[in-house]
Amino acid sequence: VFKHAHGASRTNPFWNELSASNPFVHDIAASNRNENNRYLSILKEKPHLFSKVSNIDCLLRKTSSRRSGRSKSVSDFLDIVDNQRLHPRKTTPQKTIVSDVTWLQNDREAYKMAWLSHRQLTRSCLDLEAMSHSPGWAQTQATDIHVVCKLNYEGGSVQLPDSDINIHVPVGHVLPGEYQEVGLKAILNPPSSFNNELSSTVSPLIELTLSNLNTREAIFLEVKVAAKVKNDPLSQVMSDIVCFYSFNKEGPFKKLENCYTYQDTIQVKLMDLSHVMYAVIAVQANKIQPPATNVWDYVHRMVSVGIYGPKYIHPSFTAVFTVFGHNYIPGKLTICDIKKGGKNMPPVVFQLWGKHTFLLEKPQDLNISLVSCDPDFEVKMEDQSKNIKEEDLKTGEMVRQQFLFSMLGCREMHFFVFLVQIKVLKSSQVTQFHVTTPDPAPKLCGIISRPKRLQNRKEIKSAPLLLIPTVKYPKFQDKTLSVNTYGVALKTVLRQNKIDYLLEYFKGDTIALLGEDKVKAIGQTKIKEWYVGILRKKIGLVHCKNIKVISKEQAMDTADSELTTRNLAEQVALPFKKLTYIYSVVLSTVSESVCDWRALAEVLGYSHMSLDDFNEAHADKESERVAHVVKTMKEDCHANKKKRLFLYELIVALLKIDCQGLVARLTQDTIILTSAVKLGKYWRELAEKLARLTKQQIEAYEIPHQGKNGAVALEMMWKPAYDFLYTWAAHYGDSYRDVLQDLQSALDKMKNPVTKHWRELTGTLILVNCMDVLRASAFSKMEEEE
């Protein structure tokens, strides 16, 4: 708490940046300019806290010879306080702010907690922007997630971030002109007393705070829990989801009767209110009737797991697998038992890297394994597989296992993907999911390990992906494309069997070229290099050797090579009429990325839509409004299947609001999924060509999808294919164009290329190569600046 400021600016590389923004550190920095003030308190908010210690200098003088003034512990300060109480000395009276600190006088533990509280406050005041440039700072900040909301007579709802925990305050809860501050906090480990054979907690311990007890209406707690009672008559009779309630964190708790349960959601009416209250939801059985052995046998119980790790990866780092007894998975978690070199490390705050939820019918032993999908990284041998005991799951508390990753050799650091497998030891049940690590620490990451041609590639950007609260989408202008390069056909090319996305032309035709980038793709029989061109209002590929490239000034007649921006957007999106997609993934991706529902509604043809068209469930968040617009369009397309195709219309609309980054992301996702489906069992050949996978590595992808006979069914073969392609593509980062091109080249080189008859991948290559031209022509720079 007390700092010796002399020379700090020379020894702390972050000193200048932090002292300028941190009101506490600023005082210490100021002491550099005042040599007479060598020691300074940074507890400027409440100077009276240590008023019982009359002279700060004594704290620094009366110390063990083994400790300097700069390294005092809490115990040192408390010993000095005790000593002064036993051996008082005369001091000059000091003016302090009048405050009730009598509770600190004779309570050593209270004094200690007050000291620690202010120490934590000091840390919490670090400037976050500056801190992001120095990852070592503030690693031990508290990470409890809580929310406080101020409501008036009209009431409202309060939701704990990233959770299904809500408080509903009705109209008239407080008097007109008065306010109610509602606080919500989740304590991850619920009371152990509720976890036994007859009871199991299915929510965190919820702390609820109210500022105003002058109320006229009750409030409602609504929680989505990690279980629902089975539908069979015995389970319905023998068990129930209940809420326990207390004014103290340690209890005693009482069971509330004013509860309404629907499947996995419970709503509780809270009538007996206090400034601080605690609630926990549990599944409770009246008694256990054989063949049931505990309360789990009466419910469908969901288990949630989270993978946590550091903000940045290093050549050696720890990932923490965490099992929760409820479905609340926080975005950050304080880890207190990390070891390095056999020694315990200070508590650190880990970030959530990935999460997964699966059904577990009863508590039983689990085997957890983490497998790197990248040959540059490995999991330490003794950490590759770990077990979680049945007894640990029954406690309802968090259960953690640590896995140490390390980089092989002296390669450059880069993010990577690893596989998490959860096996139920007494059955054949296997659950798995992939996790992508964050990037390396700024000082460790050079250029991410990708082919050199990717390093200078201009990545596709999109303003809507910047997550700015208000994004002004540019207005799409339907006008003739501006083209600077043309090609004159040197020969006639007409095909008896038409090939999608390949142009046909006569000798002497003038073809508009959309840029000079070349696309590599298979033609009728051979792999060739192509330009993207326009002729007779059709966009497609033209063989580079069949044309002579000329400038705009040299072109004689360009009438046949003109195209409008609207026609370009509609034509480049044609591949999406035949691509496979997962609707829920598309819906969530679009709703999270588009920041203006009105802009999307207008280009989709719903300009008449207003806020009155949304119900309460869709009106709170912009993402929910965007999702409602997309769902409306999906329903309309489904009702008119013969004329309308959902994904095609959505892509055209996103191009018209300049969401090119989002289009590129959806393109890559759908191409990977469709390629996996098209390949089937031939994915093994592709894996050997793309990543030189060994037979053992290929088997590792297939093991989770094997049936009882030990083989992967043909109709399920797309799953390991998708897992592989997803992992492979992750190494490219945001270079969508190169993912598509390299996949095209690898598929073309297979013994029986699937791309000979499936041309949609070639079509998407045309799309991503036309984006710059579309943006330059369809969106006026002058209008964007306005």
Residue 134, pLDDT > 50, answer no
pLDDT class for 498, splitting at 50, 70, 90? confident
pLDDT in the model for residue 128: 36
Higher-confidence position of 146 and 422? 422
Q: Note whether 50 and 57 are within 8 A (CB).
A: no
pLDDT for the residue numbered 42:
30
Instruction: Write down the mean pLDDT value for the chain.
Output: 77
Task: Inform me whether the pLDDT recorded for 349 exceeds 60.
Answer: yes
Phi and psi for 297 in degrees, rounded to 5?
-70, -15
Band of pLDDT at residue 786, cut at 50, 70 and 90: very low
pLDDT band at 290 (very low <50, low <70, confident <90, very high): confident
3-state secondary structure 430-478: EEEEEEECCCECCCCCCCCCCCHHHHCCCCCCCHHHHCCCCCCCCCCCC
CA distance linking residue 556 with residue 563, whole number of Å: 17
> What's residue 703's pLDDT?
85
Q: Are 278 and 206 in contact (CB under 8 A)?
A: yes
By CB neighbour count within 10 A (0-12 exposed, 13-18 middle, 19+ buried), where does 191 fall?
buried
Angle among Cα 366, 370, 374 to the nearest 5 degrees reads 165
Helix (H, G, I), strand (E, B) or coil at 208: strand
Minimal CA–CA distance to 677: which of 544, 578, 745? 578
Q: Per-residue pLDDT for 487 more than 50?
A: yes
Going by pLDDT thresholds of 50, 70 and 90, the confidence category of residue 765 is: very high
Residue range 58-115, pLDDT digits in tens? 333 333 334 444 444 444 444 454 455 444 444 333 333 333 444 444 555 555 555 5
Task: Answer whether residue 302 shows pLDDT above 50.
Answer: yes
Residue 201 confidence (pLDDT) = 93
**What pLDDT band is residue 576 in, cutting at 50, 70 and 90?**
very high
Measured CA to CA, the distance from residue 608 to residue 629 in angstroms comes to 12
The confidence band for 506, taking pLDDT boundaries of 50, 70 and 90, is very high
Around Cβ 350, how many Cβ atoms within 10 Å?
22
Tens-digit pLDDT profile for residues 668-689? 999 999 999 999 999 999 998 8
Only one residue has tokens 């007494």, namely 426
pLDDT tens digits along 382-438: 777 889 998 899 888 899 999 999 988 767 788 888 889 898 887 767 788 888 888
Residue 714 has pLDDT above 50, yes or no: yes
**Average pLDDT for 274-281:** 94
pTM of the model: 0.47
pLDDT in tens, 19-73: 443 444 444 444 444 444 433 333 333 333 333 333 433 333 333 334 444 444 4
Q: Which residue has the higher pLDDT, 263 or 65?
A: 263
Q: How many CB atoms lie under 10 A from the CB of residue 538?
A: 13
DSSP code string of 717-786? THHHHHHHHHHHHHTTTT-HHHHHHHHHHHHHTSSS-GGGT--HHHHHHHHHHHHHHHHHHHS-HHHHH-
Q: What is the pLDDT of residues 2-21, one digit of tens each?
A: 333 344 444 444 444 444 43
One-character DSSP codes across 680-719: GGGHHHHHHHHH---HHHHHHHHGGG--TTSS--GGGTHH
What's the CA gap between 542 and 527, in Å, rounded?
13
pLDDT at residue 64, as a whole number:
39
Q: Which residue has the higher pLDDT, 125 or 197?
A: 197
Please report the pLDDT score of residue 446 as a whole number.
40
Containing 72, the helix (H) or strand (E) segment is none
Percent of the chain with pLDDT over 70: 74
More confidently predicted of 108 and 178:
178
**Confidence band, pLDDT 50/70/90 cuts, at residue 696:** confident
Mean pLDDT to the nearest integer, 497-521: 89
pLDDT at 488 over 70: yes
pLDDT classification of 643: cutoffs 50, 70, 90: confident
Instruction: Return the higher-pLDDT residue of 610 and 357.
Output: 357
In the chain, pLDDT over 90 holds for what percent of residues? 33
How far is Cα 339 from Cα 563, in angstroms, rounded to an integer? 64
Compare 604 and 613 and report the one with higher pLDDT: 604
- Lowest model confidence (mean pLDDT) among 36-45, 115-124, 740-749: 36-45
- The CA distance from 182 to 242, in Å, is 23
pLDDT at site 269 = 92
